[in-house]
Chains A and B, each alone.
Chain A
Amino acid sequence: MDLPAGTRNFSYAEDMTIFRTRTQKFLLFTLAAALLTAPLWFGNYWLGVANLIGITIIAATGLNILTGYCGQLSIGHAAFMAVGAFTSAILTSRFEVPFLIALPVAGIVAGIIGVLVGIPSLRVKGFYLAISTIAAYFIIMWVINHWNNVTGGFMGMAVPPAEILGINLTTQSSQFYLILAITAIVIFGAKNIARTRVGRAFIAVRDNDLAAEVMGINLFNYKLLAFFIGCFLAGIAGALTAHWVGFISGENFSLTESILYVGMIIIGGMGSATGPIFGAIFIRLLGEAVTRLVPIMENSLSLPAGFATGFGPMLFGLVIILFLVLEPRGLHHRWQLFKASYRLWPFSY
């Protein structure tokens, strides 16, 4: 359906290919080449932004699987990132576990906590679930902020840089390649999960969980699996944050972040593989624009004192509200419309 005129699928393998046409392959190749050589083009500052975007994409993809595909709303996503971050930090700094083992362990620990938090989802949904994830957020963060001899409490803890096969990833560019690789794997994996039996089951649960159960989908397994995958990815993202920033405390994982992740998947378009990518890039670049523009605006126009602190939240709130009111299907939908018009050009349909 999404193929340009003249392209036909003659086998199932062709039908399932993600990058089907020559244009798509060319664009993929260009994008890969551009990303792989990015450290040559970008300064350290923008590489840092790219790293932040990559980590955000991983976490947002996790939330997208949980919320966008399976319909289980979570407003405590940052807490699972925090669990992953501190797990990896403690494993690598206290027990000297290699990074490549600590990273999946961080994901698994976050996933298990996520499953525990997700247990009420078997009986309740919608607002009840949203509130219980908020409650879980506060309880988890309270434990992290006060368990002084393990997590360092409010003081936070230093995290050694990631080390792979004896190479210390200390520079932004080496971190960039690590985060890029993991992000690519996560996006590819998420795209494929959505097309398998599991993904279809998630979508059935999202659309109507009673009907799904009647069709023979085990709600217990699939809802908790969605929580596990979503929180696993959050844990991975958290661990990457920890090793990237080098110093973490509870403040890195605020409730605001959690809400922003929900905003990202809404802005990007829920239930699509590209949605979280668009959403993460949009929100992070917007945040970047705010941090860079606000001082300039403050200096040139004599603005009231509260402008610097108030402008960011107001803008983010406004963006989320406007997207929900005006474009509830998100940027992903715009992208689809653009692709369709590109394919059909010069005709309109």
Chain B
Amino acid sequence: MSELLQFVITGITVGMIYSLIALGFVLVWKSSGVANLALGQLILLFSWFAYGMLSQAGLPAYIGLPIVIIFSLFLGWVVERIILRPLIAQPILSLITVTLGLSFFLEGLVSFVWPESQATLPRLFPQTPIYIGTAVMGQEYLWAAIIALLLFVLLTLYFKYNKMGIAMRATADDQKAVQACGIPVTKIFSRSWMLACVLAAVSGVLMSSIGSINHGLTSAGLKSFSVVILGGLDSFGGAMIAGPIIGLAENLGGGYLTPLTWPGVREVIPFIIIVLVMFIKPYGLFGEQRIERI
């Protein structure tokens, strides 16, 4: 029984980080219609950058982490300005492929600057484990969940009350109408990329403070795709709900199915969920099915 509780708690907290990554995806997808397949590599890059700041440069966390955030804002701006701005209104195929090219580039960059295959961040959270009933949980899981929730609340408020946030939602609805209202659409695009990169940076630091920094982090990006597919591509709430579901399915499936099937089943469960969603409800739980006209 304690095993089950353990799986549930770990699954939900890890799933919330997936939600955070997925939010970054949904943000960019909604505002600019770009599918960012380089998410996993962005997470990897930011985790290594955090490692570079905190461990290699030896900065304390209250200086190092803001630098990571500033770097992520800058990178988001650069990526949008240089790579995606020239491709506005190109077919979706080009937009997907260019982010794949970006993912190659980032992966090369990471192994160029940090040739180590593995590293750990200095501890950001207290170490004492927490006992919930019979289950034991590292405190960093709890912190990760709290930070994820906090960011979700902040984002919701941002989209509801901030002028820029409202403009972003409007852009998601109709780009041309927004442009006609005098809101610079390109600025919205660049804001959404910057925000998405910050989310990737935060979730990267959270993931690598739970585990270690290695190439496995890119698979977190892939898993977040199953989150957005399950939740619906254009739904923030969907991403937030689907994340823990994917995390739960992954952990429970990994825990109970591995003896029945082959090892590594944990890694494919998110993909099996993608295929199932595609067959049953392709636009996800909360996704909007757009009616097309010729």
Contacts and interface: CB of A to CB of B under 8 A. Distances in A.
Contacts of A8: none
A73 B96 contact: yes
Contact of B100 (A210, A305, A320): A320
A120 B115 CA distance: 40
B107 to A, nearest CB: 5
B229 A131 contact: yes
Contact of A313 (B104, B114, B268, B274): B104
A325 B84 CA distance: 8
B118 interface: no
A130 B90 contact: no
B105 A135 contact: no
Interface stretch (B126-134, B166-174, B191-199, B275-283): B275-283
Contacts of B105: 313-314, 317-318, 321
A164 to B, nearest CB: 36
Given A259-B104, A321-B83, A321-B102, A131 B115 contact: no
Given A210-B294, A311-B112, A313-B111, A324 B98 contact: yes
A313 B108 contact: yes
A139 B271 contact: yes
A142 B264 contact: yes
A319 B105 CA distance: 9
Contacts of A316: 101, 104, 108
Nearest to B277: A132
Dominant secondary structure of chain A at its interface with chain B: helix
A128 interface: yes
Given A142-B264, A314-B104, A309 B97 contact: no
B10 interface: no
B225 A134 contact: yes
A339 interface: no
B94 interface: yes
Contacts of B19: none
Nearest to B99: A321
Contacts of B108: 309-317
B94 A266 contact: yes
Contacts of A325: 83, 86-87, 98
A126 B101 CA distance: 17
A247 interface: no
B104 A320 contact: yes
Contact of B274 (A135, A147, A266, A324): A135
Given A132-B274, A136-B275, A325-B87, A310 B100 contact: no
A134 B222 contact: yes
Nearest to A325: B86
A324 to B, nearest CB: 5
A135 B224 CA distance: 12
A314 B120 CA distance: 24
A320 B111 contact: no
B115 A305 contact: yes
A58 interface: no
Given A128-B282, A210-B292, A325-B86, A317 B103 contact: yes
A123 B284 CA distance: 12
A130 B25 CA distance: 15
A19 interface: no
Contacts of A214: 294
Contact of A135 (B29, B96, B271): B271
B109 interface: yes
B113 interface: yes
B275 A132 contact: yes
B92 interface: yes
Contacts of B115: 304-306, 309-310
A263 interface: yes
A75 to B, nearest CB: 7
A42 interface: no
B101 to A, nearest CB: 3
Interface string A321-346: 10011001000000000000000000
A139 B96 CA distance: 21
Given A119-B279, A131-B225, A263-B97, A317 B264 contact: no
Interface in B243-274: 262-265, 267-268, 270-272, 274
B13 interface: no
11 contacts: A71-B93, A75-B100, A120-B275, A120-B279, A127-B233, A135-B226, A214-B294, A304-B112, A304-B113, A320-B98, A321-B102
Given A135-B226, A210-B293, A320-B100, 4 more contacts: A146-B262, A309-B112, A320-B97, A320-B98
Interface of B: 29, 35, 37, 83, 86-87, 90, 92-94, 96-98, 100-115, 222, 225-226, 229, 233, 262-265, 267-268, 270-272, 274-275, 278-279, 282-283, 292-294
The 7 A-B residue pairs whose C-beta atoms are closest, nearest first, are: A310-B112, A317-B105, A317-B104, A314-B108, A320-B101, A313-B108, A306-B115
Interface of A: 67, 71, 73, 75, 119-120, 123-124, 126-128, 130-132, 134-136, 138-139, 142, 145-147, 208, 210-211, 214, 256, 259, 262-263, 266, 270, 304-307, 309-321, 324-325, 328
